[in-house]
Structure 1
Amino acid sequence: MSSKLDKKVNNLPDKPGVYFFKDNHGEIIYVGKAGSLKRRVKSYFARAGDRKTEALVAEADDLETRETPSVLEALILEAEFIKKLKPKYNVKDKDDKSFIYVGITKEDYPKPILIRGHELDAKRFALSAVFGPFTSASTLREALKILRGIFPWSECRPNQGRPCFYYGIKKCPGVCIQKISKKDYQKNIFGLKLFFSGKKTQIIKNLEREMKEASKSHEFERAADNRNRIYALNHIHDISLIKKDDYADYKNYNIQKYNVMGRIEGYDISNISQKLAVGSMIVFEEGSPKKSEYKKFRIKQTEAGDVPMLHEILARRFKNNWPRPDIILIDGGEAQVNVAEKVLKANKLNIPVIGIAKGISRKNDRFVFDYKNQELKRIIKTFENLFKQTRDEAHRFAIGYHRSLRKIKRIDKKE
């Protein structure tokens, strides 16, 4: 590695973005995206790779990077530069037919579809726009899942008389039950096209203008919808795009003791004045919720407080022959972590326990764990968002169960 390249590699930010390897003539020979520029680029030089990677590293003489607000935007920027520059190590052993593209269909209610390069020419006549090339179909599918939450689109039959599944989870704007006009639906698709064109700033400006207009005309629901979209665009939750790549990079240059992409179990307690106290156990595998493994606990000892309640649900959990977790995540501080470790010790289990103590309005979260464990500390720093997402899901599931019991109790009283 040249001294110039070495200096740049060691001063990279721990932020998402796009990186460009250059040869000794200054020509860009490879473009890549990263959840962490620092971890991703370092991984090239920390291990032996395949022949193509080794050839790239041997030829690389310089480096440039461009930070992005999110990995999702890095994904789109990477595709833009691959299309524009066609760097030799991006297209080596590939042609346009091997890449993946996003096409927007031509119809009354358009939608994005994934298209293989070899299908593109045959389908282009039925598309109003094409974006790409992208290198991974699975990553692109995850990206579309995120974007559908911001710019919902329809895959259902218009005016079918009953709401589709995606309408219930706010991923369809209601084409199925005539809840949205063609004009407003087209605005969603236009926003999606702008995002794939790298024009997020323009989208936000458009939404801010529409929000002000809606407020002036007392259309408060539309104003709130635009406000929520602006927030979503400024706080894109794209952990699903980075978890596997970052985990692989982390393993490449760290001694990996803990399987973060294995089974993480998250726990929380929900009660009001110790009434109808319940507990939740949620499971993440491969960095994503595995809802088929979720468990609800109706707590029996309701007079003792949150810590003994947590002890109860953990003791009950480990009496069952369920899959062993790789990491346990607790919504709580030192007392909750200590009681979890006590239950594990009683069951002769050695599983790392991480707590997240609540700050004011959950804005100042503090991780609680064995601070002498430097490897666990690095894991938490690297996968902070994943652990917070696990905590939030455990909290949501516990509150949902508690509310359902309160609702049943109110109905029983009325009867």
Structure 2
Amino acid sequence: MWELASQAPEQPGVYLFSDGRGRVLYVGKAKDLRRRVLSYFGREQPVKTAQMLARARDLQFVVTRTEVEALILENQLIKQHRPRYNILLRDDKTYPYIKLTTSEYWPRALLVRKVEADGNEYFGPFLGHGTAARLMDLIRMYSQVRTCHWDLKPEGTLPRPCLYFSMGACLGPCVAGLTTREAYLDAVREVRMLLSGKTGKLGKVLQQRMWEAAEREEFERAARYRDLERAVKALAEGQVAELPGKGSFDVFGVEGDGRDVTTVVLVYRQGKLCDKREYHFEGAEVPADGAFLSEFVPQFYEANPAVPEQVILPFAVDEPEALQGFLAAKAGRGVEVLVPKRGEKRKLLELAQENAGESFRLRFRHPAREGERLGAEVQSLFHLPNPVLRIECFDVSHTGGEAAVVSVVVWEKGKLAKREYRSFNVKTAKPGDDPAAIAEAVGRRFRRLLAEGKALPDLVLIDGGPTQLAAARQALAKVGCQLPVVSLAKRFEEIYQDPGQPPLRLPNNHPVRLLLQKIRDEAHRFAITRHRRRRRARRLATQLLAVPGVGPTRARKLLAAFGSVDGIRAASEQELATVVGRKLAKAVKAAVSREKA
């Protein structure tokens, strides 16, 4: 590949990386093709780019006269080939147009989202679906131009008209004799005037026709012209925010985390916010920066040709002159590309950024969606048969072997399920034997889950190294439960999948490592909390029994009266005296006050 890159011309143009089957993997543009393509081989590349280069087997070039031509060609080739490693505008909600099929003998009015070179007339684009829908209602109910999909012959060969004719919403050219071509083309001219924005002229024409029909005592026709004139007037009053003109600008906001990206476009016309568009790129594996916008903005205006006078971006794009030239060619006039640092436009940019951040959070940081994504990554990393939606983590805590407690915390569908946390007081394992304590808790936990028929986790996580991992696996085998188990060792954050194999070391920012650390740390926190509570209870019980006059019966009475050891410690002498008498209350208070740990 380097040999092909070194043969690239030193001119503006487009380059295409292809795989062994000839499929285009990536399309890019450059001011200097040779310098750009050689840069792929002179330094370490991001993961996504490195993957593309590993698959590439061919490199082709198309020389253009200018950077603008290169940008236009790049955009066309991206639309044609849909390369896997390009940023692709997958949102197909382009602005609507109204198509007048003037190439047909009986023209129709249709709502479409794509302009084609088919000899027909297109009007728009209309920002938002509302304006186009209102116009179609006017055409359908008042102009009587057909909006159906019948391929009609000039002579009208259908035996009877459809319901639209009976409703007065169509002149009925499908049936011979219901209308004439001259009358129908008059209605088409009205539609053309309406769609061309000549609402004032059309209103006068309709008003004149209304009076002429009234003089001929054609009152139904007069009423139709009256209603159409009123509707056209109402449309003209509300149309200013829907058509691009002076003071029109689009504001782009971008948010990403290096993996996923969200872009929001706020559309302003005549100073009014009239539309909001948002696009999500899952697994883009690119930073939300100027390079990303350099790919996104041309595709956005290729799909939505309503180019405003100003395009406001959060940061500078690569080769801004080429982007300005591309937008000017699309709009037929000059277009400013701004990155404001202060003033009103900066405030609008901050608003777009806030919208992008919120949309990104809702799309990619919703617990359930985030949980699905992380679960899929865990499944892929450990080669598990099913997506990981539930993880249970075990950790042991004690002080020199005293009051050992094993905690179980649950991560499910993207969040910690605190109501399902459990803890086990170690009973059979020797003090300080952490693997034995883990084995005891794992055995007790899953023996009960199996007996009660409850759902099992997709992955078991153990805090510790290969010894703790082996103990957990043996405990699961004894209860007849086959589950995937891994352990996470604290010192170097190594992941053990098999006690006899070397550990897996992931980068510090790897999502699976961060997830396992989060669950492990929560298990550690919960284990310490339960251990300290048990240790205090044991020490307090020992001190209570050491007080002369306090035996097991009175100790149980104190616990029953105050609920817990903390309750006994917080109680006053007077309150303790109501249970054990004034003399013992003083001794008990002194004993529990000495226990601070």
| TM-score, scaled to structure 1 | 0.46
* Rg larger in structure: 2
| TM-score, scaled to structure 2 | 0.34
With CA pairs under 8 Å and 6+ residues apart, which has the higher RCO, 1 or 2? 1
